[in-house]
Amino acid sequence: MAELCPRHERHKIKSTWLSALAVAGVAAAIAPSGVASALDISGVLPVAVDQPQINAIITNPATGNVLTTSGGYSVIQAYLDTGTSSIVLSHSTWTGLGITQSSSNGQNVVFNDVAIGGTTPFYVSTPYDISTAPFSVNTDQTIGGTPPPISAFGNTIGPAQMELTEQPSPLSSLTGATDIMGMPVMNGKVTVLDLGPANNFASVSNPGETESYIYAPGTPYNPSEINTNPGIVPTTYQVGLSYASFQQFTTQTPAGAAGPVYAPNPFIGPNPVAAFNGQTQTNAPPGVTIAFNNATATGSFLLDTGAQASFISQAMASQVGVKYEAGTYGTANPVLVYASTGKVVPNQFTIPLGGAGGSSLTAAGFYLSSLSLQTKQGTTITFTNAPVEVVDVTVTDPTTGKTLTLAGDLGMNFFEPSGTVNLSQVNGAAFNWMTIDQPNSQLGLILAGQSPVPEPASWLLLLGAASAAAIAARPLRLKTQR
């Protein structure tokens, strides 16, 4: 998918300081083994205030030259997005670097990828090599960081073709000029996210941001360089994943032309595309369970590092007794009501969602009683008072005409520091580290305050207040790409 999951405009932690006490609570019940049998996490708010990024360079495979706009080499600061199936460059990036479009039979190749508003057309590049390097506050060019040296760009794929945004992003765009490094750069690798810095806003000169690394399987943990080159950190809890390819829902013209590089996306729960195709799944990981009042539902949720917010489908909402007031879905003023009484659901919020192709939608959200993940250790991680939007992201098989709607999307607000929509309140995150091990199909987590070396859990863990959060007043961007 280009971007199936909704993405808000990211609030960069740079300026416009907001002073807010951020308290996230974690209560752990301990099993005899010393590993918590249950974790209850409170304090998650609707919008993540940070998202993983990665540094990237593009190389001409014929010459070996790194593409540049003005001498030297040009580093792309892109979102690192498990919710995107390809690599997507903004119009300003690909035209500025002089990337050439692919053509077939005298016409430009156009790839129609699935997105929040249906399908979105993209041009396709000719083949290039794409290399990535770790990202941290020190390499964040938007706040004066120094890009990594060429020697740091060791994770390379290609030659591969990329998706190219057809039109420039207007100044009023929800998404702006967005570059995305999706699953192809993480396929076969272990992605390591150090969430700790984003939880520690020190000052304007040291705002704190998620540090992102991509490693080959088997890379040893490196505690002596924990802040710069940690290797694959050992995690306390692992959640099983399945991987689903959405390529059957895409089309391109001319028919038969080579399309962009494409890789499956991670889901917490059984593979929804396999289920759609009637395939039997054995040993599928457990899905995400939601509860509201006395009703529950379970579904496969996209694990989406590129989404600032999380959502459930209208069908999932219906299973827990919530629906849209007639005629309000997709309007500027959506309203959620109780299905049984028609009364308005309390504590709603609305967020404009935007896709990489320019499509947008305003969705309403509410707070579930709980949202739960089952770990391989037997621990149930339960987020209480969990905020989700209600959005249908539906894809259509062009061959059969059958449609598939995602049950849900678990965005970074459940893992990063999170805030209210207007950012009047910002809460710290419950986790310090997050790993996405694609070869072993698992999400790894370490609680805030804990070391990457597994330790016996205490019976009660309380996260401290995060200090002042620096948040730039940018519109929310909701991404829509697989």
Per-residue three-class SS string for the chain: CCEEECECCCCCCCCCEECCCECCEEEEEECCCCCEEEEEEECCCCEECCCCEEEEEEECCCCCCECCCCCCCCCEEEEECCCCCCEEECHHHHHHCCCCECEECCEECEEEEEECCEEEEEEEECCEEEEEECECHHHCHHHCCCCCCHHHCCEEEEEECCEEECCCCCCCCCCCCCCEECHHHCCCCEEEEECHHHHCCCCCCCCCCCEEEEECCCCCCCHHHCCCCCCCCCCCEEEECEEECCHHHCEEECCCCCCCCCCCEEEECCCHHHHHCCCCCCCCCCCEEEEECCEEEEECEEECCCCCCCEECHHHHHHCCEEECCCCCCCCCCCEEECCCCCECCCCEEEEEECCCCCEEEEEEEEEEEEEEECCCCCEEEEEEEEEEECCCEEECCCCCCEEECCEEECHHHCCCEECCCCCCEECCCEEEEEEECCCCEEEEEECCCCCCCCCCCCEEECCCECCEECCCCCCCCCCEC
pLDDT, position 175: 46
pLDDT, position 188: 98
Each residue's pLDDT expressed in tens, for the chain with a length of 482 residues: 665 444 443 333 322 223 333 446 776 555 545 566 789 999 999 999 999 999 999 999 999 999 998 767 899 999 999 999 999 999 999 999 999 999 998 999 999 998 766 788 999 999 999 999 999 999 999 888 899 999 999 999 999 999 999 887 654 444 456 899 999 999 999 999 999 998 875 444 456 799 999 999 999 999 999 999 999 999 999 999 999 999 999 999 998 899 999 999 999 999 999 999 999 999 999 999 999 999 999 999 999 999 999 999 999 999 999 999 999 999 999 999 999 999 999 999 999 876 555 557 899 999 999 999 999 999 999 999 999 999 999 999 999 999 999 999 999 999 999 999 988 888 999 999 999 999 999 999 999 988 886 444 433 333 332 332 333 323 333 333 44
Answer whether 0.85 is exceeded by the pTM: yes
| Torsion from C-alpha of 239, 230, 265, 285, nearest 10 degrees | -10
pLDDT, position 449: 85
For residue 110, CA distances in Å to 125, 169, 398 come to 10, 18, 16
pLDDT, position 457: 40
Dist. CA 258–CA 103, nearest whole Å: 9
What token pair was written down for 330? Answer: 């997709």
pLDDT, position 195: 94
Question: Using one digit for the tens of pLDDT, what is the confidence trace for 41-74?
Answer: 999 999 999 999 999 999 999 999 999 987 678 9
Dist. CA 286–CA 267, nearest whole Å: 10
